[in-house]
Amino acid sequence: MTDQQQQKGQKPTVRAGAASHRAAGPGAAIFALVILVGGILVGLYVRLMPDEASSGAVQVDRLFNTMLGIAAAIFLLVESVLLYSAFHFRRKKGEEGDGPPIHGSNRLEVAWTVIPALLVAWLGVYSYQLFAQLQPPHPTDLTIEVTAFQFDWEFRYPEYGITSQDLYLPVGQSVRMKITSRDVIHSFWVPNFRVKQDAVPGRETEFQFTASVIGKYRVVCAELCGAGHAQMGLIRFAVVVSPDEFAAWVAKQQQSAGQPATARELFTRYGCNACHALTDAGAIGQVGPNLDGIGARAGTRVAGLSAEAYIRQSILDPGAFVVPDFPDGVMPRDFGARISPDELDALVNYLLEQR
């Protein structure tokens, strides 16, 4: 009611064309059906996940698409009501009065409280049942120990006494992954397998799965772990092969296990490729300086310091010579304890050869 209407004792003017909120006919049922069908179609045909490559991926995707369909239906419902209300109940030209005094609907409020609560409870039970089904406490065919560190992965096969930079898996065999971290919190994630597990320093976490499709899949770190975090998702792969190919790979690894690692292998083993680019090693890291031509440049960096001494000290004490435009404190400072003197000599000589 306007001030003039109050002074004259007039009744408030109700905008023309305003319909009661309780008036609901066949149109409401058709609208609800369209929303329901829209949610079902989104859940059935929209694919946001990568190709499934493990036995549990199908079940995980079924749960994900169920949630996606429900979310799509709720989105369509809310946006449709919002757009309808904005158009139908808009103030028309020339109207000066107030809108109709609608109190609301208790039944509607109960419905939009109870229905979402039931949906959340059902999805919670569904998710827990799926988790329990995917992680049953039974023996597996193969155990692999995963160690994360800035900024790389290391995969150890204790049954065979070998270590690999890529994760090799036999198709169709159940695998138990035991995961830990050498420095900060990481998160082991292979999107195609639908498996993800935190790697925590001083603690071992584990899960199990079965690779079902032969192929090569990227291993990703899903926890921000420092400047080279993104690089951890570019350099390592899960390689799924046939059981015969896996046995041949194991035999080859065992044969070379007793032989000294080449300098190029050391460059990769100690994670140098995660931060530095080096064409000879196939490294594309961008966190630290490019090492192509480092053998020719190292002797000119610090007056009176030879190229060999510069490279050696840069490995053992990364903060000694920080290249401009690159951050300090990113490169691990424990190489003196991790790398043997012979390996250090081999790595230094390898870098000196890069001219």
Q: Phi/psi class of residue 325: alpha, beta or left (left: φ > 0; alpha: ψ in -120 to 50)?
A: left
pLDDT digits 0-9 by tens, 42-55: 888 888 888 899 98
pLDDT in the model for residue 267 = 85
Q: What's the Cα-to-Cα distance from 214 to each of 42, 110, 178, 210, 288, rounded to whole Å?
A: 29, 51, 22, 11, 35
pLDDT digits 0-9 by tens, 179-221: 999 889 999 999 999 989 999 999 999 889 999 999 999 999 9
- CB under 8 Å to 355, separation ≥6 — which residues? 293, 295, 296
Q: CATH topology for 263-352?
A: Cytochrome Bc1 Complex; Chain D, domain 2 (1.10.760)
Picking from 141-150, 163-172, 182-191, 324-333, which range would have the lowest pLDDT averaged per residue? 324-333
Domain with CATH 1.10.760.10 in the chain: 263-352
Helices of type H across 46-182: 57-88, 106-134
∠ Cα 248 251 253 (to 5°): 110
Of the candidates 212, 290, 260, the one whose C-alpha atom is nearest the C-alpha of residue 56 is 212
CATH of domain 142-257: 2.60.40.420
pLDDT digits 0-9 by tens, 300-310: 888 888 989 98
Domain with CATH 2.60.40.420 in the chain: 142-257
pLDDT digits 0-9 by tens, 8-25: 555 544 444 444 445 556
pLDDT in the model for residue 243 = 94
Q: Is the pLDDT of residue 170 over 50?
A: yes
Phi, psi of 320 (to 5 degrees): -70, -45
Based on its alpha-carbon atoms, the radius of gyration of the chain, rounded to whole angstroms, reads 31
Pairing of strands 237-241, 215-218: antiparallel
